[in-house]
Each structure stands twice: as C-alpha cells, then as structure tokens.
Structure 1
C-alpha cells in the first residue's frame, strides 16, 4: 500500500491510499474555498453526565447533490478529491469537532449565547477531528460490492487514521463508521464513511466498559462471543471472524461482527484477520440487501478501545444494524426508544438470524 498526503485548497489534509506504488498524486485542488469554520462548542448536561456538541455551521453542509455534482466523485470542479483514487480520506469541510476556533468557547459566546442558571453546566471548545473516508471512486458502488482487496485497503486506511488520530492532543476516542441509505439520513449517497476523533469517551463506550469492569470471570466481550459462536443466532463465520445477531438485539436486523482473537482496535488486527474480514462482511451486507429485495439502510459502527480509558477491557467489534423491519416498513425510534432509551424490537433475534442465513450470498 502507498499512502500520499496532500492538501485541499483551504488547507485541509487529504490522504490517498493506493495499491500501486507508482500512483501519481500531484494534482492540486484548484477551487477557491471559504475559510474553514470555527470550532464547535461542547456543553455539559448535568442530568445525563454527557457532553453535547453545538455545531451550527453544519446546517449549511452539502445535502443530496446530483451525481454530476457529487463532491466525492473525483476530478470535477466541485470535487473534494482532485484525481481518481482507490481509497481517499480527507478532513471534513463541515466538522463536528476540529482544532480551529478561538481556543476558549469554540466561538460561541457564553454571555447571551449560552445561559447557565445556577452554574450547573459548563462549556468548552469542540476540539477533535472529523474525516471522510471514500471507499471507492465508483459512485454507484456500495461497501457490499467491494472486492476483498478493496476492503483490505479500506481497513488499512481505517487502521492508519485510527493510530494517527489517537495520537492527537486532546483526543480520547476514535470512531469509524458508515451511514448508508436515505432512510438513515445520509447527505451524500456516494459510498463513504466517516471517522470522529472525540475529545471525550462516548456515553455508550463508557457504559459498556463500566459493565465489563463488573463482569466476573473472563473478559465480558469474549464471553459473549464464546456463547454465541455455536448458537442459533450465527449468521456467518470463518476462521477469524463470527457475525451473529445478539440475543438482545435492539433493531429488527442487527449483526455484531467479532474477531476470534481479541484486539483493542483496528491497528492491532494482524494481516490474516484483515484479509478474512472482507469476504465475511460483504457477504453479510449482500444478505441484508437480498432480504427484502431493496438496498437496506444501515449504520455500521466500529467499537474500538478509547485512547487511554479502560483499554484493558475493550474488544474490537463491529455493530451493524438496519431500521428496516419489512419491505415497506421502518423501525422508528419513537417515544420509548427516543425519550426513555428503552428499546422494543419487532423481530425476534433468532428469526432475524435465520432469515439472513436463508439468503445465499450473491456477487
């Protein structure tokens, strides 16, 4: 793999990941771009013990452009990427977190712009980084259609960016993910994902690792995997990975993908694990698409160890879930889920696993 670092017209970094060592990455970004936005602001919620990010500049981000104006398609006047590419990663033009701003409150005034009755809350800059990962230059592709070699290259990019972002000052957790489908709320249909480098440990990770710290016996995640590997909820497996529907799935079709050898994060995967992931995972994605004969909307989320917090308890795994519960029905997060965080699933996990296993993997 060859990695090339260059810059976009406004100074943002652009990384090319190529299979060929002779790839020419000398093209420059000819656009005239506005200044980069100031940093967002984080505000502390004392009732939930969580940080909420206020990023008003993201209201103006690109929304569902026509294919000939897609900023992720290479080498056209509005493109973020000035030449054709295998895999490309660049700093998000509309980031939730960044290292720009006034260094105090992210550009949001505390007086008037932020009222704090009783002094229970707090505010600080949304320091961190957000990047866009383009899986392929083919606008009409999907992650499920990628070759095994292309998936390996994407994984190299994920691992490389995770390692570098984890070393940035103030970054506490790195999150690689993909949103797919209009029903999920995507703003760009081109096959891509994102990476968030958070300045804190996210609530879900903090909660999971807290539960794992109270588990008696071995590692909680490893014990869950061991219990599922021979059970009725396995969807697919190979020598290095198992994909299964968790016993307490929250979504109609939710699959967790675990490596058999425990590692904390993507950079720690060995070459055999990286090579074995693509064929299994793309097969699962194709099964999802075949289930109802429509492209399934989904979120694919890599759960990695935080930079320092309880790394000894973490176990890298992928959570994949879809909100589609039937060919013409979606699972909405309504009152119970959205207000109370109490999920009610319409599809039994055993039935979901069986339905997915019944569909042959097609190329």
Structure 2
C-alpha cells in the first residue's frame, strides 16, 4: 500500500494525514544522556551509586567519555525523524577539573553547549542528588544535618544558573528538573519534619529569580526506590501541591507511581491547575525499572490524552530509561521512535467522531470507532514521515543499528 492510498483511507474517517505529519514534526523529544553510559557520568572523583538507581547488564559499547557519548547521540539522532533535545545530568560535566557538586559552573558543561549548537538541538538539565558521599543516607535536601542540606541547596542553585545560561546560549528554555532520592528504608516516626525540611530547602534553592525564557524549574515525585521502601519524602502529593503553590512544572514519571495507576489519567487532572507539565516516559516492570518504552497501551493512552486534551503545546516530553543488556544506541532510537509513533497514532485518531459519540452518550459508537480505526494503515503514514525527514525505517533501520553497534562493541 502507498502513502497516497493510506491518506485516502484516513480521509474517509475525516482525518488529515498531512496535518498530522506537520504537527508531529514540531514535537521535540528530550532524549536522556544516561542511557548511553548506564548512569555512570563523567565526574573525575569517586562516588557511590545510591538513589535506588541501577542499570543491569554489560552489553559491549558503553560510552566511556563525553566524546564517545556525543558520537553515540549523533548517530541516534540521525536515526530519529525530526529535531529533538538532549536531557543532561549534572554528573555528565565535560572538564579536566574536579569540582564537587557545590562548585560546578557553566564552563564545566560548555563543550556540551558548543556541541548542541553545532547539532542544532536544545538542552535540558538536571541536578544530580545521588551517587555522592553526601547522599549515602538517601537524604539530601531533607537531611537533618543543616550542613548536608546546605551542600545540596548550593548544588541546586548552581544547576539553575547553569541551566539558565544554557537556555540563553541556545535560545531555547532549558527545563531544569529536580528529583531527590530522599526517603527511609523503614517506617519513620516524623514524616512531617522531613517534608518540612525538603520544602524549606526547595524554597531556598529556587528563590533566586531566573528568566523563564531561559530556564524552567520542574519538580519530580516518586513512589519508592531501593533503600527508601517505607517512605519517599518527595511524594506525588507533596510535589503536586508544591508545583501548584510555587508555579513550577510538575514532572510525571511513568515509573514513579503504583503499577496500577494510569499516568494518562493524571494529565488532564493536573493540567487544570498547572500551566505546563513535564513527562518522563519509561516502562516500569513491577517497579521503577525503566525499561525501553514499547508502543504499548500505556504509551498510546498517554499520547491519546496529550492530543485529546490539547496538551501537546503545554507538555515537555522527556525519556527516562536505561538498559545495559542491549545496544544502548538502539535503545535510544527504538524508545524515541516509539514515543513519536504513539503521538502520530493519536494525531491520526478521528477525534470529531469520537467526541460526538461520547457527547451524545452513544458509548457503543465510541467503542466501535475506537476499535475500528486501529485497523487503518498507520504504518504507511509513519514510513512517509521517516522518508520526508530522510530517516531510515524497517529493515534499513535495523541494518544501520547493527552496523553502528558492531563499530562500538570494541570499547572495553
């Protein structure tokens, strides 16, 4: 079947494939740097893993230097249609210096900005509140020790300054997302005190004004992690309230909720109280295990909600998975393309007919429409999107992924 035939098939349902392709081309996905090296980072000093974060596997080809990571990223971007972004963590500095986390400055990340300019992509940023001796208790901004809190507050302030400079240099607002691992392995006796300390630390950290056109603050919750099974200080309720009161973005990470919770259902609910949202898209298996995302029901439901509720222009979409059992570059490419495929499917849905059926309480028609339009030739429209943006698909894509993996497999 040709694209023209597929276009006509969708037109019978009142769907304009050209409009869908044009809209998809404007949606950037912020691809995460930490998939490329198993969340190791490039700090010269020795740290601990911590934070409940663990990448399993030892597939050959892990990036060992910023140069190798950037080469891998460039290859991945070439396999993904459209123009996208990179989500950079503070532990990925590119410098011969050895600054501690409370000493980092823009110059330690300037090579990343120069590279982003050359690639024509935007950058997002994250403070790194884990993998450090001062985070070994799984307490940072909520630590009872004021000295520990002050260390991490200063780290957070500096990341905001760095993010603002990145946004200024690239002419695109840099989303600076705050996630802390703080919590308790066993049942605490005073949750309120820990949450009050976290709130006060965040207030101090976010107090210096930044230009929104250059930097946007986001806060991210979590249900639990390794070592904080009993209580996570920064819960969803904590951060949702904080974001609404303080005017930050709220980050919804698909792996940070109970397995039975539907993240898609949360989007329209929080959007009524927040002007902008940040998404971290992953695939949890029974916990926050961050598998490469598939084109499955969870991803489709989220994409449908973004389009149906008209939230695409208010939502920053980032990825957050890391798998060391497979090719790391293939993981980036497959995951990012699946996010795009889900959005394209949502943009190709017959929303006028679906809404008309629902508004008239004709739930039979709604169900019939929902199931029947799944059979429309979506694959031909996706192939056309890749073709127009000079990106391989199908067997050609697989061949490109295999060839690149073979070229990096020699890395020790």
TM over 0.5: no
Higher normalized contact order (CA 8 Å, seq sep 6+, divided by chain length): 2
TM norm structure 2: 0.29
Q: Which has the higher helix share?
A: 2
